[in-house]
């Protein structure tokens, strides 16, 4: 996150532009701030870096609101948080406008392993899993990455597979992955008689 006054001023203007459903253009942003492009890039980095910060700044309060309204613990809490977060993204007009306007850049900034947004999202979900659920035999981070991928596959379904983003199906997928499972199946299975026993 930006800390200098100049960077924060540029970031806030870019965020306002994004929420309004418009494209963040570095030249226009520099002109609005009354500076040259060189100064703007020095303050906030390149356009991808600025977009990533704007995207994450919008994700955090959405995640926080989902957590505040979720079940208190267990798998139900994880499902509630991810369900509400995914539904809010799917329904946010400014977010859908960005995906429609710049689909390739959106997927790169939001869903690749190099993405700051995805790594921060995985970190938040890892914390959620650690506090709410025993992920065995996976680690908390491994389960978090799986859940994030499920969220992405439904949020960006129109870009990935041409299907309509569907929060109801996303919730069903979260519930399916986190449903209670039987343990020690091999140990409790009924033994099959050998040929010699017949």
Reported residue count of the chain is 198
Full pLDDT tens readout for the chain, 198 residues: 899 999 999 999 999 999 999 999 999 999 999 999 999 999 999 999 999 999 999 999 999 999 999 999 999 999 999 999 999 999 999 999 999 999 999 999 999 988 899 999 999 999 999 999 999 999 999 999 999 999 999 999 999 999 999 999 999 999 999 986 544 333 344 454 555 554
- Cα–Cα distance measured from residue 21 to residue 32, given in angstroms and rounded to the nearest whole number: 17
Q: How is 26-92 classified by DSSP, letter by letter? A: HHHHHHHHTS-HHHHHHHH-SHHHHHHHHHHHHHHHHHHHHHHHS-SSHHHHHHHHHHHHHHHHHH-
The CA distance from 45 to 10, in Å, is 11
Sign of CA dihedral 70, 168, 94, 146: positive
Query: In the prediction, which pLDDT does 189 show?
Result: 44
Q: Rounded distance, CA 107 to CA 114, Å?
A: 11
- Specify the pLDDT at position 184: 37
Asked if 81 and 148 touch (Cβ cutoff 8 Å), the reply is: no
At residue 180, the pLDDT reads 66
Does this model's pTM top 0.75? My answer is: yes
How far apart are the C-alpha atoms of 179 and 75, rounded to whole Å?
8
Cα(87)–Cα(66) distance, rounded to whole angstroms? 10
Q: At what angle do helices 116-132 and 47-69 cross, to 10 degrees?
A: 20
Place of tokens 């703007």: 40
Distance CA 123, CA 2 (A): 19
């Amino acid at each position: 996150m930006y800390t200098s006054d100049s960077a924060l001023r540029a970031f806030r203007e870019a965020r306002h532009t994004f929420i309004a459903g418009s494209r963040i253009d570095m030249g226009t942003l520099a002109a609005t701030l009354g500076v040259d492009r060189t100064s703007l890039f020095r303050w906030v980095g390149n356009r991808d870096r600025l977009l990533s910060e704007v995207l994450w700044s919008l994700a955090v309060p959405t995640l926080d609101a989902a957590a505040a309204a979720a079940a208190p613990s267990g798998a139900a809490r994880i499902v509630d948080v991810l369900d509400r977060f995914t539904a809010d993204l799917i329904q946010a007009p400014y977010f859908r406008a960005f995906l429609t306007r710049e689909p390739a850049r959106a997927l790169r900034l939001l869903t690749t392993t190099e993405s700051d947004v995805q790594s921060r999202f995985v970190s938040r979900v890892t914390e959620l899993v650690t506090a709410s659920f025993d992920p065995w035999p996976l680690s908390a981070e491994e389960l978090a990455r799986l859940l994030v991928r499920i969220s992405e596959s439904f949020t960006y379904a129109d870009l990935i597979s041409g299907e309509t983003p569907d929060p109801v199906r996303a919730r069903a997928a979260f519930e399916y992955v986190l449903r209670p499972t039987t343990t020690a199946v091999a140990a409790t299975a009924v033994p099959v008689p050998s040929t010699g026993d017949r």
